[in-house]
């Protein structure tokens, strides 16, 4: 009889306990750097990303995945989720750019990168532009991959 009561109490405890999986999902949200969205509005291409829970971010690199597009350093604007402009120094690296931040960006910060008037090679009918996005966080000795931003234009 004691054996069956033990099983019944175990079933009641497990039925009333909150699911562990749901708690884990909430706690890992934005724990790693990731691209949240990418889109085009008019001649401006946007990449929105979160810096994750790592150390502060010192710079980002955005590299086109094809040779039909080239990013230029003069038309890049970085803002936070409150639309405050982040002070940056943008430099060319090959066909891509490196965005150096004046002050390191704290963990779990959402950034929006606006790339205005992106150069495309003449006579290309490209409608989808893909960029590899990397970040260098303080204390890390290599870039961390944020992902691939795919931007559809019409």
Q: Over the stretch 91-146, which tens digit does the pLDDT of each residue have? A: 988 888 999 999 999 999 999 999 997 777 666 666 788 999 999 999 999 999 99
User: What is the domain partition of the chain in residue ranges?
Assistant: 30-152
The CB-based long-range contact list for 84-89 (8 Å cut-off, 24+ gap) reads 86/111
Max mean pLDDT among 73-82, 87-96, 139-148 falls in: 139-148
Residue 96 β-bridge partners: 93
Going by C-alpha positions, the residue among 78, 79, 62 that lies closest to residue 70 is 62
Options 2.60.40.740, 1.10.1060.10, 3.40.50.170, 3.40.50.620; which CATH number does 30-152 get?
2.60.40.740
State the pLDDT at residue 118.
79
The two three-digit tokens of residue 138, written as one number? 């303080």
Q: How far is 70 from 80, CA to CA, in rounded Å?
A: 24
Single pTM value for the model? 0.77
Q: How far is 51 from 35, CA to CA, in rounded Å?
A: 9
């Amino acid at each position: 009889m004691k054996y069956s009561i033990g099983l019944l109490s175990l079933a009641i405890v497990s039925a009333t306990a909150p699911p562990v999986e749901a708690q884990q999902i909430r706690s890992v949200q934005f724990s790693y750097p990731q691209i949240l969205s990418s889109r085009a509005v008019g001649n401006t291409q946007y990449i929105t990303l979160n810096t994750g829970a790592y150390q502060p971010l010192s710079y980002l690199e955005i590299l086109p995945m094809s040779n039909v597009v080239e990013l230029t350093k003069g038309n890049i604007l970085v803002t936070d989720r409150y639309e405050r402009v982040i002070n940056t120094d943008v430099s060319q690296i090959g066909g891509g750019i490196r965005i150096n931040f004046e002050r390191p960006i704290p963990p779990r910060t959402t950034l929006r990168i606006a790339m205005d008037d992106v150069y495309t090679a003449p006579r290309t009918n490209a409608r989808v532009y893909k960029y590899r996005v990397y970040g260098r966080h303080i204390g890390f000795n290599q870039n961390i991959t944020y992902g691939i931003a795919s931007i559809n234009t019409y």
